């Protein structure tokens, strides 16, 4: 059997997460992701994803101390960040800078300490570049703040409101891991060759950047801006579908029913944004799109995916559009690194292709 795009093909056994696309279920190591997003912090869920259990209070203190210590960047990374051209996108910057961390300290086989180090450094890289581009003073990481809180603090130069921190943290938990998605697969392919963790993560970042995967939220914002008003939604969406345009934030390879992350994020966005004009437009547009997708593509089960309301949550906590995919990377780093560690005991990934070109004359 040939499965183009590897659809329905199992490439690995994993104990990290379970995605049921028919039932709309997402489980992280035996726990419902949607419950974890309400009751636990990003750090606690990162501990669960990496080590297989939620931390005890004592373990949490020890784990958090390790995490915080790794937030600072080496000096040469600052130098690289200072010279990268202004027109490089944030995702290009992250991919380049993570790659520049090199193999020293991140040798094969990947370890939990290496995973913590990469995860802890990513928000610092993003915030440094963010301020550098705007000619502002750099805001250094704070040791007393949790991951999401510290990220918002470094970007804004002041502590965010508790509701904003909570919303971003829930988003981070909901996107921390998701089975064998394209970027995790890319990272796992590299890890399966026994290459180092930095190389695997560089590959994963390249895959996440694409608009069909993690690059979608900024395009959701662009779509809503183009639509502009509720009255224009039906006309705009019809026109887009007639031209064969893909509507960002809809459809999913695995989910054939509603993406559970989209439901949770919609609630979070509603709580945070209240009567916000943009969110109101998003909710109205979602209804229009779902109705018109049924009309134009009646045989396809196309539903709202995580990216549609990710954009709403990130906008509501004050993040600019160029930070949407990088923020996704800052959470998914945990899932990627966990898969790379798990891949050490898996077989080399080496699928086949089907040749459809010409053959030379018979020898
Ligand atoms: N808008 C319009 N048509 C769509 C859409 C969409 N968003 N998604 C799929 N289709 C159509 C597609 O045109 C095709 O139609 P036809 O058979 O008539 O040519 C059919 O559905 C199957 O498309 P496919 O590309 O074979 O499906 P896939 O499983 O490879 O695609 C997807 C999954 C996410 C790439 C796709 O749904 C898409 O492009 N969505 C928009 C981008 C997006 O929101 N990406 C974020 C995904 S969630 C984050 C993650 O987990 O990666």
Domains of the chain: 17-210+319-343 (1.10.580.10), 216-316 (1.10.230.10)
Ligand 1 neighbours, Cβ below 6 Å, are: 5, 178, 181, 212-213, 216, 246-253, 297, 300, 302, 305-307
Residue closest via CA to ligand 1's atom 8 equals 251
The Cα 331–Cα 230 span in angstroms is 32
Give me ligand 1 centre to Cα 250, in Å: 7
Which one of 40, 47, 252, 339 is the catalytic residue?
252
- pLDDT in 10s for each residue of the chain, 363 residues: 568 899 989 999 999 999 999 999 999 999 999 999 999 999 999 999 999 999 999 999 999 999 999 999 999 999 999 999 999 999 999 999 999 999 999 999 999 999 999 999 999 999 999 999 999 999 999 999 999 999 999 999 999 999 999 999 999 999 999 999 999 999 999 999 999 999 999 999 999 999 999 998 889 999 999 999 999 999 999 999 999 999 999 999 999 998 999 999 998 888 887 778 888 899 999 999 999 999 999 999 999 999 999 988 898 899 999 999 999 999 999 999 999 999 999 999 999 999 999 999 988
Residue closest via CA to ligand 1's atom 34 equals 252
Q: Which of 209, 211, 246, 286 to mutate to test the pocket of ligand 1 (most atoms within 8 A of CB)?
A: 246
Give me ligand 1 centre to Cα 303, in Å: 10
The Cα 174–Cα 332 span in angstroms is 10
In a 3-state reduction of DSSP, which class is residue 23? coil
The Cα 198–Cα 18 span in angstroms is 25
293 CA closest ligand 1 atom index = 2
The Cα 233–Cα 148 span in angstroms is 34
297 CA closest ligand 1 atom index = 18
Q: What is the DSSP string of 276-298?
A: -HHHHHHHHHHHHHHHHHHHHST
295 is catalytic: no
Q: Which of 178, 211, 212, 251 to mutate to test the pocket of ligand 1 (most atoms within 8 A of CB)?
A: 251
Which one of 307, 339, 342, 363 is the catalytic residue?
307
Task: Specify whether the CB–CB gap between 98 and 117 falls below 8 A.
Answer: no
**According to the model, what pLDDT value does residue 1 have?**
54
Residue closest via CA to ligand 1's atom 27 equals 253
307 is catalytic: yes
**According to the model, what pLDDT value does residue 2 have?**
64
Give me ligand 1 centre to Cα 134, in Å: 35
Residue closest via CA to ligand 1's atom 46 equals 213
178 CA closest ligand 1 atom index = 51
Residue closest via CA to ligand 1's atom 28 equals 253
CA 74-80-83 angle, 5° bins: 145
């Amino acid at each position: 059997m040939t499965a183009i795009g590897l659809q329905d093909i199992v490439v690995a056994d994993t104990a990290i997460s379970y995605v049921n696309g028919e039932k709309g279920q997402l489980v992280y190591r035996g726990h419902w992701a949607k419950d974890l997003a309400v009751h636990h912090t990003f750090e606690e869920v990162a501990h669960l994803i990496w080590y297989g259990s939620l931390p005890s209070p004592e373990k949490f203190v020890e784990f958090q101390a390790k995490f915080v210590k790794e937030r600072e960047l080496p000096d040469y990374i600052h130098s690289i960040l200072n010279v990268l051209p202004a027109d490089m996108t944030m995702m290009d910057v992250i991919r380049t800078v993570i790659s520049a961390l090199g193999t020293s300290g991140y040798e094969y086989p990947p370890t939990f300490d290496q995973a913590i180090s990469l995860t802890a450094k990513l928000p610092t890289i993003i915030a440094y570049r963010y301020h550098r581009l705007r000619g502002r003073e750099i805001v250094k990481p704070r040791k007393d703040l949790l991951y999401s809180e510290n990220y918002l603090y470094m970007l804004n130069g002041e502590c965010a409101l508790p509701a904003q921190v909570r919303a971003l943290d829930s988003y981070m938990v909901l996107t921390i891991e998701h089975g064998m998605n394209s970027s995790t697969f890319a990272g796992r392919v590299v890890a399966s060759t026994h290459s180092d963790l930095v190389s695997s993560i560089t590959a994963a970042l390249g895959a996440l950047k694409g608009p069909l995967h993690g690059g979608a939220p900024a395009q959701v914002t662009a779509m809503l801006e183009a639509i502009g008003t509720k009255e224009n939604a039906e006309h705009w969406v019809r026109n887009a579908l007639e031209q064969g345009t893909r509507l960002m934030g809809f459809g999913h390879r695995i989910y054939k029913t509603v993406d559970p992350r989209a439901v949770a994020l919609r609630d979070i966005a509603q709580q945070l944004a209240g009567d916000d004009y943009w969110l109101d437009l998003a909710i109205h547009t979602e209804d229009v799109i779902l109705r018109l997708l049924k009309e134009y593509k009646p045989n396809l089960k196309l539903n709202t995916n995580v990216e549609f309301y990710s954009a709403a949550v990130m906008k509501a906590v004050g993040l600019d559009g160029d930070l949407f995919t990088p923020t996704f990377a800052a959470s998914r780093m945990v899932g990627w690194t966990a898969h790379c560690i798990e891949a050490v005991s898996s077989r080399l990934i080496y699928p086949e292709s089907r040749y459809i070109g010409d053959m030379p004359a018979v020898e």
